[in-house]
Amino acid sequence: MPAIFTPKVITANALLEGDVVYLTQDDTWTRNLTEADVLTDEADAQIRLIDASARTSEVVGVYLADVSPDAKGPKPTHFREAFRMRGPSNYPHGKQSEAL
């Protein structure tokens, strides 16, 4: 029996900066997970993943990440995605320096 498709977002790393990015509904990249398009249809998700993967001049490492829908936007369901959202782990520079 096939697994049930759960909500996902398309994520990657920006080619030049290396930042984590997410695909929006209008096919642009955002650094904010709350702006990502939540995909609930498996066929649509696979087509959009193929299209996003072809954008090699913009991003690398494109894949589908599990999320749970929330009123404030999607939330990561796996530790890896929550960790990626926070930016580099070599604190205190990069995105994390702004939190000081």
As a whole number of angstroms, the distance between CA 4 and CA 74 comes to 19
pLDDT greater at residue 92 or residue 84: 84
HEC letters along the chain: CCCCCCCEEEEEEECCCCCEEEECCCCCEECCHHHCCCECCHHHHHHHHHHHHCCCCCEEEEEEEEEECCCCCCEECCHHHHHHHCCCCCCCCHHHHHHC
Assessment of whether the complete model's pTM goes beyond 0.95? no
* Mean pLDDT over each residue of the chain, to the nearest integer: 88
Domain ranges of the chain: 8-99
Closest CA to 30 of 48, 9, 7, 47: 9
Question: Are β-strands 8-14 and 29-30 bridged in parallel, bridged antiparallel, or unpaired?
Answer: unpaired
Residue 91, pLDDT > 90, answer no
Q: What is the pLDDT of residues 31-77, one digit of tens each?
A: 999 999 999 999 999 999 999 999 999 999 999 999 998 888 899 98
